[in-house]
Structure 1
Amino acid sequence: MTATGPLARQLMAIMGSRLLDPLEILLNDPVTDLRARCEWAALQWADRLLGPEANFAIATIIGALYPGDEAFDPPADWWTTPLGRVVLLRMGFPGREAVSYAVAGAMLGVTRQGVHDLVTRHKLARHPDGGVTVTSVQERIKQRGQRA
């Protein structure tokens, strides 16, 4: 795979578990042709997620792979995955201005206490309604030279 390898692999894993594996079970068929098409699509989507139209691609991927009536709210460790990193750095947390100290910690790879210390030292911005602003988390990651 290309430089988007980890991202494309994660997309393929999600498509496999949410789409292809259930089809394979229900159809009693290995759906090999669909797997090949999904692998190609995962590479294409990974390129889109890293390109200039990233926000549209992110909205499409999240809507398709994480459907539901509830607001998008992945577990904290999701933010450390290739897709989570791309979403965070390109779009932030869709639909939220702030996150809890625990989620901010997961996003930054530090403890909740580490986030508290960063807020105290004005390295992260506290949101008026509580938590930490997503924008300050994004800025901190970019300052540290981390990339999607």
Structure 2
Amino acid sequence: MTRLIDVRLLDPLEILLDGDDAVEALRRTVRARAEAWADRMLDGDEQTATHAIVRVVATLYPGDGPFDPPAEWWRTPLGQVVVRRVGHPTVQAVSYSVAGAMLGITRQGVHDLVTRGKLERHPDGGVTPASVRDRLNRRSPTS
């Protein structure tokens, strides 16, 4: 997470400020606080984890539209924490390919899980992120 904050926020700020020493102080602050943010995301109660995730995602991926990362983002460590704790922070349905990225399987694998009733099909198409989250959280680390 600290690397992502460096790349998305602090590196551009350093460029804008011509290498000002204040940016290095911010890097130290981010490193000191990132562990607490990660602890909240991983081990906090549902409300605490959700709040921390939404704050970090909204800060790192600002925009006027809903949060819509590329499918491969869901395989990153932050993406995996987000899907395991909240599913998807801004939508009620994801495509089969995004659900596959969240689960680490193919689009066809998602289709098979939907057909077998292992994932919930959204009435408007796609899969509910909650069913993806629930499936990930039910699986053992070896499955």
Q: TM-score, normalised by structure 1?
A: 0.84
Q: Give me the identity figure in percent.
A: 59
> Which of 89, 100, 107 is the equivalent residue of 1:112?
107
Where do 4+ consecutive residues of structure 1 move more than 6 Å?
none
Residues paired across the two proteins, number? 136
Superimposed CA distance per residue, residues 74-98 of structure 1 (whole angstroms, 9 cap, x where no aligned partner): 1111111121111112111122221
Q: CA deviation at 1:21?
A: 0.9
Taking the aligned partners of 2:68 and 2:95, their CA distance within structure 1 comes to 12
Taking the aligned partners of 2:18 and 2:91, their CA distance within structure 1 comes to 42
The unaligned stretches of length 5 or more in structure 2 are none
> Which of 111, 131, 136 is the equivalent residue of 1:136?
131
> Which of 4, 14, 17 is the equivalent residue of 2:4?
14
* 3-state SS, counterpart of residue 98 of structure 1: coil
* 3-state SS, counterpart of residue 35 of structure 1: helix
* 3-state SS, counterpart of residue 130 of structure 1: coil
The unaligned stretches of length 5 or more in structure 1 are 1-10
> Which of 69, 75, 88 is the equivalent residue of 1:80?
75
Q: CA deviation at 1:72?
A: 0.7
Q: CA deviation at 1:107?
A: 0.5
- 1:38-117 → structure 2 map (5 Å cutoff): 38-50=30-42, 51-52=44-45, 53-117=48-112
Q: CA deviation at 1:56?
A: 1.0
- The reply to whether residue 145 of structure 1 matches residue 137 of structure 2 is no
